[in-house]
Amino acid sequence: MSNHHTSSKNTNAFFAQAALSFGVALLAMVVAVLYLPVDPWVRAFLALGTLFLTTSAFTLAKCVRDNQENQAVVHRLDEARVEKLLAEHDPFRQMS
């Protein structure tokens, strides 16, 4: 069996850029909600919307990651089965 495991590892720079951009966007939204000249109930509504959107983004990212991991495991199992069948197949074997 061949052992060619392809893994897509993010670089440290990409991870830092993603984390920093998320932090800046969240901070900008929080500051905008705090300094928006509206009634407190509107500010609270926007703050709860921001919180809900943030937690939903984390949940969606986790679901996408889990789905990709599950597909990768199934794909590797299918490859292993095919390689096992090919290794066991003898085209010159006599059928009796």
Gap between the Cα atoms of 43 and 23, Å rounded: 20
Contact between residue 94 and residue 12 where contact means Cβ atoms under 8 Å apart: no
Q: What per-residue confidence (pLDDT) applies to 4?
A: 55
Residue 38, phi-psi category: left (phi > 0), alpha (psi -120 to 50), beta (remainder): beta
With a cut of 70, say whether residue 1 has pLDDT above it: no
Residues 6+ positions from 7 with CB-CB distance below 8 Å:
none
Q: What per-residue confidence (pLDDT) applies to 3?
A: 55
pTM of the model: 0.61
Q: What per-residue confidence (pLDDT) applies to 87?
A: 85
pLDDT in tens, 19-76: 999 999 999 999 999 999 999 999 999 999 999 999 999 999 999 988 888 888 778 8
